[in-house]
Amino acid sequence: MHILVIVLSLINFLMANSIKIKKKINKFNKIITVSGDKSLSIRWLLFSSLANGKSKAKNLLLSQDVIATLNAIQTLGIKAKIYKNECVVYGRGFNGYKYRKNIVIDAKNSGTLGRLILGLLINSPNRIKLIGDKSLSNRDFNRIVDPLSKFGAKFKFNKTKNLPLSILGSENLKPINYLENRGSAQCKSSIIFAGMRTNGTTIIKAKKSRNHTELLCKHLSLPIKIKKGKNYDLIKIKKVKKINKINYNIPSDISSAAFFMVLTALSKNSELVIKNVNINPTRIGIITILKIMGIKIKIKDKKIYKGEKIANIQIKSSKTIKPINCPAKLNSGAIDEFLIIFLVAAKANGISYFKNLEELNQKESPRLFWGAKILKKMGVKTITTKNSIKIFGNPDLEINKKIVIKSFLKDHRVFMTSVIAALSFGGKWVIHDKDSIKTSFPNFLQILSEMKKNN
Ligand code: S3P
């Protein structure tokens, strides 16, 4: 072995559900592929469940959120199976859901499943109960209940307007005019789904957010019209009669690629190519932000696949990292990547500022809070308000102490960010709830251990 011998020691210890990291990663030069895009995997399953006939997907993300979606459509009477390397959904048409009374759908940890599926259940003749795990049960569902009630659906709650809840649809749905002001793709998509089931034209003025639902509607030639504005899009959707089956080869998830992009940027003399990544312009906030911070990133071999942009991402380590005053208009395109971006700011040669981040505390855990907490444990000075953070970067940051990360509501992105921090800055880390990666990126640790081989 020619360069330094062992790169990282990811050792299962005590309870198998924690990992211990004692060493930084050594330099690497690799080509990797990360798993399928979560947003697209969930949407493909939902659209296929409404299609006529057999839809097939390759490279579907086999994570807990996606399996929960598969189970949800099965509960609604749709046959769906995972074979060796493809998933098949046997759709029965746009009105093909068939289910008993009193069914329960468990969205587990997935805000996307929980929120999108309510839109599709807007005409349900029976009450359907929606439940989720501890994290999802703490998240805001009023953002969905409010517009769907305007269509004519009825909701019941236990106490607050969170999960568990139950929805009773209506046969007399009225199209709505709605202003979606948070930049939430989940909210926008749920309303689009409800609009697809409603006579007349539903009109949504939606603050910019990821647009996979709209692209799939267009690809399937559904009656959708989109007028793009500077900060908002105007979307008009009419009642859908039929959806054709849809075969899809799911590209890789930029939100998973992000961890390895940052690991490369923060490591010495390293280079990485991540293949076949979905670089939809509404998702590439991390690329824009890292480039502003002086990181060398190249987008190669671009192609368009069913309306989505796909490319290989090449990234190199950076000797100097510039601080950023991050423009708020980049927030929505990087909303799942801020925790990992904060690590880059920790090594910048100055103070970085991220603002208008109220949505970050609406995620699987309050992530602005957790971002600040991890940085504090690393010895990085921050000033936080309820929607902003100032990070005082230190280009010579080295950690020489023990750091324990626990009680973070099993948020997968908190876990993976902590692992990347340990491998980039050193120190002796104990990170709990390893299982949380099953939510979005089950082979995260496996890819990391492949990256240490033969460096
Ligand atoms: C998602 C939208 C985003 C994102 C989530 C996935 C989607 O949430 O954070 O991980 O697939 O629509 P919001 O729509 O609530 O911003």
CATH for 332:
3.65.10.10
Nearest CA to ligand 1 atom 4: 336
On whether both 318 and 416 belong to a single domain, the answer is: yes
Are 267 and 375 contained in the same domain? yes
pTM for the predicted model, two decimal places: 0.95
In this structure, the residue with its CA closest to atom 16 of ligand 1 is 184
210 CB near ligand 1 (under 6 Å): yes
Is the domain of 182 the same as that of 195?
yes
Task: Measure 212 CA to ligand 1 centroid, in angstroms.
Answer: 11
Last residue of a domain, one of 227, 243, 259: 243
The domain boundary, picked from 181, 215, 243, lies at: 243
pLDDT > 90? residue 111: yes
- Ligand 1 pocket: which of 46, 47, 64, 112 to mutate (most atoms within 8 A of CB): 112
Q: Say if ligand 1 is within 6 A of residue 184 CB.
A: yes
pLDDT range class, residue 7, cuts 50, 70, 90: very low
Q: For residue 3, is it within any domain?
A: no
Both 74 and 56 in one domain: the answer is yes
Q: How confident is the model at residue 260 (pLDDT cuts 50, 70, 90)?
A: very high
Say yes or no: 325 and 418 in one domain.
yes
Going by pLDDT thresholds of 50, 70 and 90, the confidence category of residue 455 is: low
Of the listed 106, 233, 253, 336, which one is catalytic?
336
HEC letters along the chain: CCCCCCCCCEEECCCCCCEEECCCCCCCEEEECCCECHHHHHHHHHHHCCCEEEEEEECCCCCHHHHHHHHHHHHCCCEEEECCCEEEEEEECCCCCCCCCCCEEECCCCHHHHHHHHHHCCCCCCCEEEECCHHHHCCCCHHHHHHHHHHCCEEEECCCCCCCEEEECCCCCCCCEEEECCCCHHHHHHHHHHHHCCCCEEEEEEECCCCHHHHHHHHCCCCEEEEECCCEEEEEEECCCCCECCCEECCECHHHHHHHHHHHHHCCCCEEEEEEEECCCCCCHHHHHHHHCCCCEEEEEEEEECCEEEEEEEEECCCCCCCCEECHHHCHHHCCCHHHHHHHHHCCCCEEEECCCHHHHHCCCCHHHHHHHHHHHCCCCEEECCCCEEEECCCCCCCCCEEEECCCCCCHHHHHHHHHHHHHHCCEEEECCHHHHHHCCCCHHHHHHHHHCCC
Whether 6 is in a domain gets the answer no
Share of the chain above pLDDT 70, in %: 96
Centre of ligand 1 to C-alpha 360, Å, is: 11
Same-domain pairing of 183 and 276:
no
Q: Which domain holds residue 372?
A: 16-36+251-452
Shared domain for 320 and 187, answered yes or no, is: no
339 and 369 both lie in a single domain: yes
Task: Give the confidence band of 84 by pLDDT, cuts at 50, 70, 90.
Answer: confident
Same structural domain for residues 183 and 321? no
Ligand 1 in contact with 40 (CB < 6 A)?
no
What pLDDT was estimated at residue 1? Answer: 44
* 420 CA distance to ligand 1 middle (Å): 22
Assigned domain for 8 exists: no
Domain boundary among 217, 243, 269: 243
pLDDT, one tens digit per residue, over 269-307 is 999 999 999 999 999 999 999 999 999 999 999 999 999
Active site residue 433: no
For residues 397 and 264, membership in a common domain is answered with yes
| Residue 5: pLDDT over 70 | no
335 lines ligand 1 (CB under 6 A): yes
What's the 186 CA to ligand 1 centre distance in angstroms?
5
CA of 417 from ligand 1 middle (Å) equals: 18
pLDDT exceeds 80 at position 3: no
Instruction: Determine whether the shortest distance from the Cβ of 334 to ligand 1 is under 6 A.
Output: no
- Residue 183, in any domain of the structure: yes
Q: Is 186 in the pocket of ligand 1 (CB under 6 A)?
A: yes
pLDDT, residue 15, reads 52
- Residue 235 Cβ < 6 Å to ligand 1: no
Query: Is there a domain that residue 166 lies in?
Result: yes
- The verdict on 177 and 29 lying in the same domain is no
393 and 261, same structural domain?
yes
Rg (CA), the chain: 22
The number of distinct structural domains making up the chain is 2
pLDDT of residue 150: 98
